[in-house]
Structure 1
Amino acid sequence: MLLMKSEEWKKVEVKLESFYTSVKLDCDGYEVTLKLERMGQFKNVIAVYVNGSIKGKWYLEDCEERRRFFKPTTRSMFSQKDKKEAYKKLSKKLLKEMEERFKYTTYQPYWTSFKSLKSHLIKNNNVIELIAS
């Protein structure tokens, strides 16, 4: 396992604090470009480009790029209001089973936290090297 040193991670984090700059990493042979971009009027995100692009099929198909670089978000199909009503009517065992069965995961190439992006990259890649910053 060959990972970047903490000084290099600090350099990447500082570089991503400003717009119009990008950082390139080599993650197990994939060229990963990280850029700070605006998502909305008051929201900035770190966008992850794999080999220079973000492909639409990665959102839908289970593939290596999605698993390694996209942010997974797990949600319930039921709202909090629906859950409260179900608590009154169902047994705890059935409710727990329902919670597990009716979850779904979405994947996005946008990260709002550098710390969570860094830990995801370290967990899912064996070799991470800084190419250019």
Structure 2
Amino acid sequence: MLYIANSHGKGRGVYTDNRIERDTVIEECPVLEIPHEEVELLELTMLNNYYFAWGKDQKQAALALGLGSIYNHSYTPNAIYRPRESEQVIEFVAIRKILANEEITINYNGSPNDQSPLWGSDEIPWLK
């Protein structure tokens, strides 16, 4: 049902080859939890653009396995992500109907309505 394809100006993105109805769980991704003291090291690598803030205080990090770290950002997303920390999983859920061959996007700020600038948005051309 899910596949990776080029997303104009964003690199790779996650797409669906089937229609997905609202409130459908798209994917449950196990995560690799990264302790707070290692996050700074992670920021020195290319993985800096692929991890989620994690933990009660959001000072840890989690790298989503499966397709979880490939979903692109949008300020008008069609999906959300829900951390399930006790299960070491991130769940991706449709917030509206997603059509076949449409890219699945999330708002990296967490809330689909959060229009705050993203970290490093000055460095990411497609966010300007």
TM-score, normalised relative to structure 2: 0.25
Higher Cα radius of gyration: 1
Q: Whose helix proportion is higher, 1 or 2?
A: 1
Q: Whose strand proportion is higher, 1 or 2?
A: 2
The structure whose RCO (Cα within 8 Å, separation 6+) is larger is 1
